[in-house]
Structure 1
Amino acid sequence: MPDTSNVIYLYDGSYDGFLCCVFDSVYRRELPQDILPEAEAQPSLFSVRYVETDPEHAQRVRASIPQKIGTEAERLVKDVFCSCTPGRERMILRFLLLGYRIGHRVVYLAGHEEVQPMLAAQQFLHNEAHRFVEFLRFSDHGGVLTAEISPKSFVLPYIQEHFCSRYAIETFLIYDRIHHAALIWKDRHASIVPLDHFQPPPLSEDERKYRALWQRFYDVVAIPDRENPRCRMNHCPKRYWPDMLEMPGHVKENFAGSPRKIRQ
């Protein structure tokens, strides 16, 4: 493991930019104090070095991971980067430096101090992606389905296959408010694009009726004597509720179109 240096790497926030930080660390034989996206940098007493994104350097690191550590390690690195876990960049760098030294068996060292946090971050990402598969709600705007989510991780690449296969003949957009990106599916082609802001069009009368039907169904199938708020929050944490029409705190609509508050 290289010696820790008194320098902080800054990069543009992209995966290729991060791989260039790995390249610099390996070839300078130094372990930076931290690696941060430039937009998140704060004043520090450590010296700062901005690492330019060089496609050639990024490709060399990208190719080296499956070659020297294995394809499983490559998936783990990508997953942890998308998990947006605080300090993920330095965590991944330390894992890669260990992997370059001992090879393919690094991914099986589940209890190692450099591997265990990686596996935990990967599990968090997959769990969050699974929950959005269950909890995401679409609205119909003139034949285009739209949904908004606020995930901690960058889950769009991980929910893409599910929604694109399930709604293959539809056109839809899933907007990630936190990471300012959107998954767009149109004419059987998917793309994930940067999107700073998304304002859905006003609800149509048909959409209001479908929402009312869905909310009425949720109320009717509920069994009041078996209400268990703590159990519900365990299975569906409250941070998902703002985008779920049927959950407490949401304004519900009756069939005449006037709003009513959900039953608490």
Structure 2
Amino acid sequence: MREVPETWEYDGSFYGFLCLVDRAFSQKVFPTLILTPETALESLFLGDLIETDEARAHKIYRRLQQRLTPENLRFIQTGFYATLVNKERCLLDTIEIALGTKDSLENFIGHPSVLPVKKSIKTLLGEVHLFTGFVRFEYVGKILFSKIAPKHYSLPFLCPHFVERYFNEQMMIYDETHRLLALIDHGQVTLIEDSECPEIKATDEEQEIQDQWRAFLGAVTIKERINPRVQMGHLPLRFRGNMVEFE
């Protein structure tokens, strides 16, 4: 695919990216620079705005489903939600490779665009794995509530873990970094973007349980054996801000 010295801009959504993919492959050109509303504020260049058309995006997604292996499509989708500089440009190259092969994209990690996508996915899923152990819930009425502050767009990948473990529960998880709220109701997940954190207050029973647990920990802790350096190795500071134990 030929690269042209152009700057394109889209709304940063996955649907918007699919519309960008449609334009790139229909015109058989890749732009030098791709901007989102966030990166456009830091750029000296004006981008050619690509409007998001959900119907068109769905059509492009169905074509990718037909042309790509499920593994490679999942690689591209996960790569879109990972944190990576020039992510969209790398993904266009990755899609071009995937369209020309039935082999796994894992076999192309030597490519200068596929490798950074692979690394960013590993970082994203690594954070998801950590949060499966560091997320803390508390009862707000009959709902389990938790607030997290991930570096990456981890929440959509984190929800299936709690759906599987607590299928009969109603839960809310709020990502304060990306202003994303996940509502989980007996296995059904709804994501609400650009959301404020719900105003919540733990029940009296929940607060009593927390107080009893803190009292227990205080009673069994041997102060002389406290080792903050080792503790930070097992539980980094960045996860502690929203953990009930440290409130």
Q: Residue 244 of structure 2 aligns to a residue in which SS?
A: coil
* Alpha-carbon contact 2:35-2:47 (below 8 Å) kept: no
Q: Does 1:232 pair with 2:238?
A: no
Deviates more, 1:114-123 or 1:224-233: 224-233
Deviates more, 1:46-55 or 1:215-224: 215-224
The 1-side partners of 2:219 and 2:81 are apart by: 39
Deviates more, 1:121-130 or 1:209-218: 209-218
Identity %: 28
Distance 1:234 1:194, change over 3 A: same
Q: How many residue pairs were aligned?
A: 247
The normalised TM-score by structure 2 is 0.87
Q: Match for residue 122 of structure 2?
A: 123
Q: Match for residue 150 of structure 1?
A: 149
Distance 1:195 1:25, change over 3 A: closer
CA RMSD of aligned residues (A): 2.4
Q: Match for residue 138 of structure 1?
A: 137
Superposed counterparts of 1:49-198, under 5 Å = 49-198=48-197
* Alpha-carbon contact 1:65-1:71 (below 8 Å) kept: no
Alpha-carbon distance, 1:117 to partner: 1.0
The normalised TM-score by structure 1 is 0.82
* Alpha-carbon contact 2:180-2:194 (below 8 Å) kept: yes
Q: Match for residue 2 of structure 2?
A: 2
Alpha-carbon distance, 1:167 to partner: 2.1
Deviates more, 1:135-144 or 1:190-199: 190-199
* Alpha-carbon contact 2:72-2:104 (below 8 Å) kept: no
Q: Residue 6 of structure 1 aligns to a residue in which SS?
A: strand
Alpha-carbon distance, 1:56 to partner: 4.4
* Alpha-carbon contact 1:6-1:46 (below 8 Å) kept: no
The 2-side partners of 1:94 and 1:224 are apart by: 55
Alpha-carbon distance, 1:193 to partner: 1.9
Q: Deviations over 1:170-210 (max 9, x none)?
A: 22111111222211123553312225212333333322212
AA paired with 1:175? Y
* Alpha-carbon contact 2:78-2:121 (below 8 Å) kept: yes
Alpha-carbon distance, 1:39 to partner: 4.5
Q: Residue 152 of structure 1 aligns to a residue in which SS?
A: coil
The 2-side partners of 1:127 and 1:8 are apart by: 32
* Alpha-carbon contact 2:179-2:195 (below 8 Å) kept: yes
The 2-side partners of 1:213 and 1:86 are apart by: 46
The 2-side partners of 1:35 and 1:221 are apart by: 56
Q: Deviations over 1:145-166 (max 9, x none)?
A: 1111111222222122221232
* Alpha-carbon contact 2:141-2:202 (below 8 Å) kept: no
Q: Match for residue 26 of structure 1?
A: 25
The 2-side partners of 1:93 and 1:76 are apart by: 13
* Alpha-carbon contact 1:85-1:121 (below 8 Å) kept: yes
